[in-house]
Structure 1
């Protein structure tokens, strides 16, 4: 069991303002999604450049698979 008292826990959150709560909730939601999927980038808005690189890598992987299949047959 944790030895942190209720007053200490309140102190941890006392500096958070009402304006910051929506952003904190959004961050928590994003982190939960990343943990749940095991992916850092789940949609283009998570990192447009990284997302496009990932998409291109997927296309190249498919192209290589098709060529290997052709060679094997």
Structure 2
């Protein structure tokens, strides 16, 4: 379980990763993150548009470091 601050950082990372990919077509490298983001964790990223669910994807098992899994899923 993430702390509130770690959760906020996770959301910011997902948003940055998506914006970065849309601009550059390259994956963002998650750097300078809290230590939890280098631990292997499961993750899901959901996208909403105007309150409607537009997509959900992720890794249910801890196969990647959390930061990389967030970037990849976003």
Question: Larger strand proportion, structure 1 or 2?
Answer: 2
Higher relative contact order (CA 8 A, sep 6+): 2
Larger relative helix fraction = 1
